[in-house]
A = this chain, B = another copy of it.
């Protein structure tokens, strides 16, 4: 069993990006600049945004954090986005989700200039992804592809089962892995809450991407020997033996699945760290594209 070490791979990637930044500097070119908009004080969102800002510092990007109060109006947020769209200094930006309920998220996502949409959430980028055209790939699926590629996990002609059909992970993963590309050309099945014979399906899978958000859902009895496991889930589960009162659990029951696996991502330290690294990658790409 080989651990797909997202923490190490993300660190490698960030180092490569840092080298690219140094090269840009030496050539007297523009340094990538990522902006992040955070509305309100959601604890998880604050943690994520801070991690993104920190990653920018690490790789040598400029970063701007725009903090807006919880009661920011939709109109005000749209103005903020328009300003970022027009700011030539900013190569890419993200609006941290979820947003407060009085703001229409879809409207906000649609307002971002697709050329600066480093989250890959705008329909133009999603459409280009679906049509296999150059675009910003959403960070989590992009990170999983990168992880599979760097560990030379064979995907061509393999049976891949994606559990979950979310817009951010399940759906794009299923599209990307069945396209003609590295870490692609797989025969992909999307399973979800309406799937009736899940165990039968997962038992035939060479690769399983678990992205349903149910802690320790996928057990050893549901997978065959030699399977490759990508665990996208990360949920806080009460654990009184821990000081902080909880532990982080993936969608995979690691203890029973790992012994049967050829490759498996740990949680934490698997897919999670890759996501932020790929956001950095997208920002670098946005900057380089603008230069050309």
Please give the residue numbers on chain A whose beta carbons come within 8 Å of chain B beta carbons, in ascending order.
106, 122-133, 156-157, 159, 165, 167, 171, 174-175, 178-179, 185-192, 194-197, 201
Q: Given the complex, which residues of B lie within 8 Å of A133, measured CB to CB? A: 106, 123
By Cβ-Cβ distance, the 5 closest A-B pairs, closest first, are A127-B127, A123-B127, A126-B127, A189-B189, A157-B196
Contacts A189-B189, A194-B156 given; does A128 touch B131 at CB 8 Å: no
Please indicate the chain B residues that have their CB under 8 angstroms from the CB of A167 in the complex. Answer: 130-132
Q: For residue A157, which residues in chain B have a CB less than 8 angstroms away from its CB?
A: 194-196
A187-B171 in contact (CB<8A): no
Rounded to whole angstroms, the CA-CA distance of A157 and B130 in the bound complex is 24
* Distance in angstroms between the alpha carbons of A192 and B165 in the assembled complex: 21
A12 and B124 alpha carbons, distance in the complex (Å): 35
A188 to chain B, nearest CB (A): 6
- Interface-central residue, A124, A189, A195, A201, by most chain B CB under 10 Å: A189
The answer, among B125, B130, B131, B190, for a CB contact under 8 Å with A178, is B190
- In the bound complex, how far is the Cα of B185 from the Cα of A249, in angstroms? 28
State A131–B196 Cα separation when bound (angstroms): 24
Residues on B with C-beta less than 8 A from A196 are 157, 187
Known: A127-B123, A130-B126, A157-B195. A187 touches B190 (CB 8 A): yes
Pairwise interchain contact A171-B165, C-beta atoms closer than 8 A = no
In the complex, which of the residues B124, B132, B195 contacts A127, with contact meaning CB atoms closer than 8 Å? B124
